[in-house]
Chain A
Amino acid sequence: MPHRWGMTVDLDRCTGCGACVTACHAENNIAVVGDVQAAKSRAMHWIRVERYWEGDFPDVRLKFRPVMCQQCDAAPCEPVCPTYASHHTDEGLNAQVYNRCIGTRYCANACPYNVRFFDFYNPKWPRPLHLQLNPDVSVREVGVMEKCTFCVQRISAAEIDAKAEKRELKDGEIEPACVQSCSAKALVFGDLNDPESEVSRLSRSTRGAKLLEELGTLPKVTYLARQTQV
């Protein structure tokens, strides 16, 4: 059976520290657009920590919700792409083929979660930061869409290693950058087709819910609801 990659986000555990955002930028060669462009709402955070305030002062509560591509099974971004740049892989990922993208940005409009980002300019890294680029991830040029891949380069590498060593992948062997860097262990990644994996177990939890589930997009990310009030 092919793998079906999924993730769970435990909202009780998330502290909103933003380590996942930083790790994602570093792992995936995401351009840092600078203050001027960021003020124009052009920052590209493949994963973002949404911050919601509840209640009136002084009785205010702060809630965090990390949102990344939900890797929908019925993804609205896929049918609208005229060039198949946005397409579904055998392992259920919403892949984005940068070389095939012509930048209609239709996928981003169709995406209910707004987790797709557009390269408004060619990326630039101030020296010597250009030396820290990840060689496993392509750098995107101006005019293409990009988005969370569940760190597909790490998935592929682990699959190739396992195949070379003639063994099955172990649960927890693959960790996307956000999962790896989450000090509170709020994020869990794994194979949803393996009923024994931790991610499968957590997704079946009664606390589990999908983001905007009512739209019928069948996301593969499950949010575990808060139980405590901090």
Chain B
Amino acid sequence: MKEATAKRITDDLLRPLLHTSWRFFLLVAVLGGIVLMGGIAWMYQIWNGFGESGKRWPVFWGFYITNFVFWIGISHAGTLISAILRLVNAGWRRPVTRCAEVITAFALMIGAMFPIIHLGRPWLFFWLVPYPNQRLIWPNFRSPLVWDFFAISTYLTGSVLFLLLPMIPDFALVRDKTTGFRRKFYGALALGWQGTTKQWHRLESAMQIMAIAIIPVAVSVHTIVSFDFSMAPVPGWHSTIFGPYFVAGAIFSGIAALIIAMAALRKFLHLEDYLHPVHFENLGKLLLMMSLLWAYFVFAERLTTWYGNGTSEMNVFWATQDGGYSPLYWLMVVCNFVIPFPILSLRKLRTVTGCVIASCSVVVGMWLERFLIIVPTLSHKYLTYSWGSYRPGPPEIMIMISTFAAMGLLYTIFSKLVPIISIWELKVGEHPFPIETAAQVKEHAILRTNP
């Protein structure tokens, strides 16, 4: 790599940090306004009573839990994909990893809000935490909701670490390139990074450990989210397929979210030289594979239910297949399979635009899937007398909209504060370090031969 290339990379990727246009402030104001309205909607619900949401007997879970599962699913884009791509040393991962990992961190934070928002008495949410207290009351460790708490907090801690570690050299770079307030700010974040061989080695091994550790955590998180449903003896929920089904769906929606985020970054931050069509092409292929896997899971789950022919299961089955929920069900099939499958399997259509269209469709489809797992089941439990229905209330809709704005807001602010593409990793991909140890020479030779 020429010095000029290194300078171009640094300049291009630091530009968003150093120059801010009025468009940024406008975007932050609009998104922030929507998030604020979501907060007001939540306060309105707390103030007036939970009845302001659309929940009713017997559908006690609705939009909030749908959004919870949806956002935890979206969070499987980043860390999991980035960890797998790191471990198999896929060279094309370099510009992708950070924007993927950020999705994980933010989607988890948003998703983890929903179990609190959906509580009847949200001010007591800390009773889920096993904290020492005078009356020696612990949470009920048999409850999948307590497992959720541990799974999500572990995953959030792990993925934030996984995101922060490779940011340290970049913080040091920003520190060295700037003056004044920025120098102090990034200097603190860089944690005294000097770029010594020892530091590089520690960083490499820490990232290796995190990449390996985060994969089982990610798989377990969505399995445990699926346990929220499959542990209850309720028709349509009590199924052994739910763990892998949810994990596959999570990765599916996660990749779609990643493609959308990458396309937005590419357009707004002018990163065409870094996020190439080949990145979208590769992620598009992954999305295609997950679409097929999703269709396989749905087919397996539906066919088993149909052949099993249990009375109560069939009530839920027909409610989604040709009953009141069938328009949503078939829209889900169209969004998750009928639209993305041809787009992603034909090379001509697997362009940046094509991938983004397919991804938007998948995000809608996967949201519907979460909704269709929860609501039709709860409204068609065993005793026909107790069947019910559900319509979301205004706060539920507003809070849902505000979470999408929150994702956009956090992402916008993050890309303003941190180089959204890992500068040092990009440079390493093209160029070994100036002073190399024997181990590094070997490692970089491997890196070069496996781009």
Identify the A interface with B (CB < 8 A). 37, 40-44, 48, 50-52, 65, 67, 76, 79-84, 100-106, 108-110, 112-114, 117-122, 141-145, 211-212, 215-217
Contacts and interface: CB of A to CB of B under 8 A. Distances in A.
Nearest to A106: B145
B57 A102 contact: no
Contacts of B392: none
B385 A103 contact: no
A83 B142 contact: no
Most chain A Cβ neighbours within 10 Å, of B51, B146, B384: B51
A145 to B, nearest CB: 8
Given A101-B120, A109-B61, A212-B382, A118 B50 contact: yes
Nearest to B140: A84
A109 B234 contact: yes
Given A41-B56, A120-B55, A143-B120, A83 B127 contact: yes
Nearest to B56: A41
Contact of B146 (A37, A82, A144): A82
A114 B120 contact: no
Contacts of A108: 57-58, 60
B120 A82 contact: no
A152 to B, nearest CB: 21
6 contacts: A82-B139, A83-B127, A106-B145, A121-B50, A143-B120, A215-B382
Contacts of A83: 127-128, 137, 139-140
A114 B49 contact: no
Contact of B137 (A44, A65, A84, A141): A84
Contacts of A216: 233
Contacts of B140: 79, 81-84
Interface in B36-85: 48-51, 55-58, 60-61
Contacts of A48: 385
Nearest to A110: B232
Interface of B: 48-51, 55-58, 60-61, 115, 118-122, 124-125, 127-128, 137, 139-140, 142-146, 149, 228, 231-234, 378, 381-386, 388-389
> Which of A37, A42, A80, A212 has the most CB atoms of chain B within a 10 A radius of its CB?
A80
B119 A109 contact: no
Most buried by A among B60, B234, B378: B60
A121 B389 CA distance: 19
- In order of increasing CB-CB distance, the 9 nearest A-B pairs are A103-B120, A143-B120, A120-B51, A105-B60, A121-B49, A114-B386, A143-B121, A50-B385, A110-B232
Contacts of B55: 105, 118, 120
Nearest to A102: B124
Contacts of B378: 109
A98 to B, nearest CB: 10
Contacts of A41: 56-58, 388-389
A76 B238 CA distance: 12
A65 B382 CA distance: 14
Contact of B382 (A103, A112, A142): A112
A215 B143 contact: no
B232 A143 contact: no
A82 B57 contact: no
Contacts of B381: 112, 114
A120 B60 contact: no
Given A118-B120, A120-B51, 10 more contacts: A76-B233, A79-B140, A82-B139, A82-B146, A105-B55, A106-B228, A110-B233, A112-B383, A113-B386, A120-B50
